[in-house]
Amino acid sequence: MVFKKITLIGTSDESFDAAADDAIDRAEDTLQNVYWAEVVEFGVEVKNAPEREYQAEVEIAFELED
């Protein structure tokens, strides 16, 4: 098996967990053969958002097809 990793940034106005789930859900909706996810970093946007925007940088690994 050969895997490829991509980086996604999920966002949420609720929590870091919800932001990570946002990225993972999008990956599962748009990619095939998603195997795992690694949360790399968390951040919060406070200046340009009316409320805090939680962000999660997530690396997604999926298996490449033959």
Mean pLDDT of 58-65: 96
Q: Is the pLDDT of residue 66 over 90?
A: no
Predicted TM-score of the model (pTM): 0.87
How many domains does the chain divide into? 1
pLDDT at 15: 97
The pLDDT tens digits for 20-45 are: 999 999 999 999 999 999 999 999 98
d(CA 29, CA 25): 6
Residues with Cβ within 8 Å of 50's Cβ and at least 6 positions away in sequence, in order, are none
pLDDT at 38: 98
* CATH code for the domain in which residue 20 is found: 3.30.1660.10
Q: Is the pLDDT of residue 49 over 70?
A: no
Range of the domain at 15: 3-63
